[in-house]
Amino acid sequence: MNSSNKELYPSNRGNKQNIRKSNKRKLSSTNWIKRQINDPYVIEAKKLGYNSRAAFKLLQIDNKFGFLKPSKKVIDLGCAPGGWLQVASQKVRSNEKHRNVVGVDLLPVENIPGTKTFVGDINDPKIDKILIDSLGDYPDIILSDMAANVIGHKQTDHLRTTQLIEIALDFTLKNLKKNGIFLVKTFKGGTETELLNIMKNNFKYVKNIKPLASRPESVESYTICLELKA
């Protein structure tokens, strides 16, 4: 493995850290903190200045498909806290003069050089125009790492996530340039058949991918759709 691969696929080399027990903290929070401080991707993200460990998911997917090329225009749906924005802007060489990356999220994102972000809801019909106007063109690449807040009720959580995939796909089919690329967070079991069929009808290639940085126990997966047909 060369050094860039070491950064892409960090392994947990140190001793596992434990945290002090506290009566005030719930067991689930304690487990979350323990997992975070021992997660090699969290450690590496901090070291490299990425806003989230999610940055590695995009780096690993792009390492396989190589679609984030210089000067490509990118829209990132559900972009907070900004790991994907950072990776995308570095890869497409976005800067203040040629700003090629814009994003939207319900939550604010701290200023990331070469990107412009909006606080908004993808369900808002006005958001399409705001993003396209800000990008100055239709995008070559649309990314969606959107995730609904899970409430623990399996069917409801599944429905909410499916709805976000549906909205992201709808946005994509309205706005993506011909031959463009759409990457979307889906489920391990694959996308709903109906949505998958729409993807397959509109793109030349559709593939499911579970990057190593995506936790094995998580139901999350990704679907990449390559080359939007006319």
Ligand X SMILES: C[S@@+](CC[C@H](N)C(=O)[O-])C[C@H]1O[C@@H](n2cnc3c(N)ncnc32)[C@H](O)[C@@H]1O
Please state the separation of Cα 139 from the chain's center in Å: 16
- Binding test (CB under 6 A) with ligand X, winner from 78, 139, 180, 211: 78
Name the 3-class secondary structure at 23: coil
CB of 185 to ligand X, least distance (A): 7
Whichever of 80 and 195 has its CB closer to ligand X, that residue is 80
| E strand segments, the chain | 74-77, 101-105, 115-119, 141-144, 181-187, 203-209, 220-228
60 binds ligand X (CB under 6 A): no
Which residues belong to the active site?
A: 185
106 binds ligand X (CB under 6 A): yes
135 binds ligand X (CB under 6 A): no
d(CA 209, CA 179): 20
DSSP 101: E
123 binds ligand X (CB under 6 A): yes
Q: Give the other-Cβ count within 10 Å of 95's Cβ.
A: 13
Residue in this structure with the two tokens 């690329």, named with its chain if needed: 181
84 binds ligand X (CB under 6 A): yes
Q: Comparing C-alpha atoms, which of 103, 132, 98, 133 is closest to residue 118? A: 103
Please state the separation of Cα 88 from the chain's center in Å: 10
88 binds ligand X (CB under 6 A): no
Interface segment toward ligand X; rule CB under 6 A; list 14-22, 74-82, 94-102, 193-201: 74-82
- Binding test (CB under 6 A) with ligand X, winner from 42, 43, 130, 147: 147
Q: What mask, x for binding ligand X by CB under 6 A, covers residues 1 to 40?
A: ----------------------------------------
| Residues forming the site for ligand X (CB under 6 A) | 51-52, 54-55, 78-84, 104-107, 121-123, 145-148, 164
